[in-house]
Amino acid sequence: MPRPPVSLFYGDLPGTRLAAILRRLPPVSGDPVRVVKILGLSDRRGPVHGGAFLRERRIALDCTQAEFPRVFVHEMFHFVWVRAGNPVRRSFEALLLAEWRERARGELGWSAEWRKNDLSAADRERRTKLWREYCCESFCDTAAWLYSGKKGHAEFTLAERFRRRRRDWFRKIFSPRGLSL
């Protein structure tokens, strides 16, 4: 059985809640990922709830305990996205393109939704950086919706039929092989 990542918590991050989150995930393996709390976390667009620093194998969080499961899973899946490989990423991209052709509105998190709203047809056709960033954020938001244990959230705006397709895709890809960080 793969070993879970070792996570170090500082301050008042809810370590016991991490165990509950990890139980909802497929088996996880990989090198340790350090998790830290940073008050006032922001990026070029302003305040953010979390950030994944892949080369440092670090996740920084600035969120409430209520948001912790969703934000933690989202940031953790940035590591999964990188390790998943091109065939898996292209498969998820194909799922998103099918949704686009069906005019799916909404997303499973704001980080994907604002990117989706900013995309043009040329971004999709040319697979621009904006399109690829949207695919990554959509992947991470989908994982957060699926594995965080949150039944509902104001940011879960994607229609149920598309949610079912994404759930099926994640189960098909990650249930047999697990997650690699």
pLDDT tens for 170-181 read: 999 998 788 888
- What is the mean pLDDT of the segment spanning 56-78? 93
pTM of the model: 0.91
Secondary structure letter of residue 151 according to DSSP? S
- What is the mean pLDDT of the segment spanning 145-159? 95
- pLDDT band at residue 10 under the 50/70/90 scheme: very low
Q: Which residue has the higher pLDDT, 152 or 11?
A: 152
What is the DSSP track for 33-61?
-EEEE-TT-EETTEE-SEEEETTTTEEEE
What the block records as the tokens of 147 is 């594995």
Range picked from 3-7, 60-64, 95-99 for highest mean pLDDT? 95-99
- What is the mean pLDDT of the segment spanning 131-144? 98
pLDDT tens for 31-52 read: 888 888 888 888 888 778 899 9
Residue spans of beta strands (DSSP E) within the chain: 28-29, 34-37, 42-43, 46-47, 50-53, 58-61, 179-180
pLDDT tens for 80-136 read: 999 999 999 999 999 999 999 999 999 999 999 999 999 999 999 999 999 999 999
Reported as half-sphere exposure (CB side, CA atoms, 13 A), residue 18 has a value of 16
Q: Which residue has the higher pLDDT, 131 or 10?
A: 131
Return the pLDDT at 62.
92
Domain residue limits, the chain:
15-180
